[in-house]
Amino acid sequence: METALSFPFDERGIEKIYLDSREDGRGGLFVPIIGAHKDGHDFIEMAVERGAAAVLSSRDVTELKKKYPEVRFWQVPDTRAALQEIGRYEKERFRGKVIGVTGSSGKTTMRSMLALALSSERRVFQTAGNANSQLGVPITLFQLARSGAEIAVLELGMSEPGEMTRIASIARVDLALITNIGTAHIENLKTKENILLEKLHILDGAADGAALYLNGEDPLLASLTEERIHDLGISLGKRVELHFYRAEEEIPLSAAGHHMQQNAAAALAVSLDLGLQREGVLRALRGFSGLKGRGEKLLSRSGIGILDDSYNASPDALKASLLVLSKEKGRRKIALLSDMLELGERSEELHEDCGAFLSSLPIDRVLLYGEKSLGILRGIRREEKRRGDGRQIPVSHFSNAEELYRELLREAAPGDLVLFKGSHSMGLSRLVERFREE
Residue 70: give its domain's CATH number.
3.40.1390.10
Mean pLDDT by 10 residues, the chain (438 residues): 76 94 96 94 97 96 96 96 94 93 91 96 91 90 93 90 92 96 79 93 94 96 96 94 95 87 96 97 90 85 92 90 92 96 91 96 96 97 92 94 95 95 92 88
Is 302 exposed, middle or buried (CB count within 10 Å of its CB: 0-12, 13-18, 19+)? Answer: middle
Position 40 in a domain:
yes
- Alpha-carbon gap, residue 241 to 252, rounded angstroms: 29
Nearest to 376 by CA among 386, 385, 366: 366
DSSP 4: P
- Alpha-carbon gap, residue 152 to 96, rounded angstroms: 7
- Provide the pLDDT for residue 1: 41
Position 4 in a domain:
no
Position 3 in a domain:
no
Q: Which segments of 232-308 does DSSP mark as H helices, in order?
A: 258-273, 278-286
108 and 238 housed in the same domain: yes
Question: Pick from 26, 51, 77: which residue ends a domain?
Answer: 77
CATH of the domain at 399: 3.90.190.20
- Alpha-carbon gap, residue 98 to 330, rounded angstroms: 41
24 and 116 housed in the same domain: no
Domain span at residue 393? 296-437
Position 291 in a domain:
no
**How many structural domains is the chain composed of?**
3
177 and 277 housed in the same domain: yes
Position 10 in a domain:
no
Position 349 in a domain:
yes
90 and 28 housed in the same domain: no
Position 6 in a domain:
no
315 and 426 housed in the same domain: yes
- Provide the pLDDT for residue 3: 60
Strand pairing report for 296-299 and 305-309: antiparallel
- Provide the pLDDT for residue 130: 76
Question: Pick from 286, 312, 335: which residue ends a domain?
Answer: 286
Position 2 in a domain:
no
302 and 233 housed in the same domain: no
341 and 199 housed in the same domain: no
Q: pTM (2 decimals)?
A: 0.84
Is 147 exposed, middle or buried (CB count within 10 Å of its CB: 0-12, 13-18, 19+)? Answer: middle
Question: Pick from 225, 256, 286: which residue ends a domain?
Answer: 286
278 and 303 housed in the same domain: no
104 and 240 housed in the same domain: yes
59 and 139 housed in the same domain: no
> How many other β-carbons are positioned within 10 Å of the β-carbon of residue 200?
26
DSSP 160: S
116 and 62 housed in the same domain: no
CATH of the domain at 222: 3.40.1190.10
Nearest to 363 by CA among 379, 380, 347: 380
Strand pairing report for 296-299 and 333-338: unpaired
280 and 200 housed in the same domain: yes
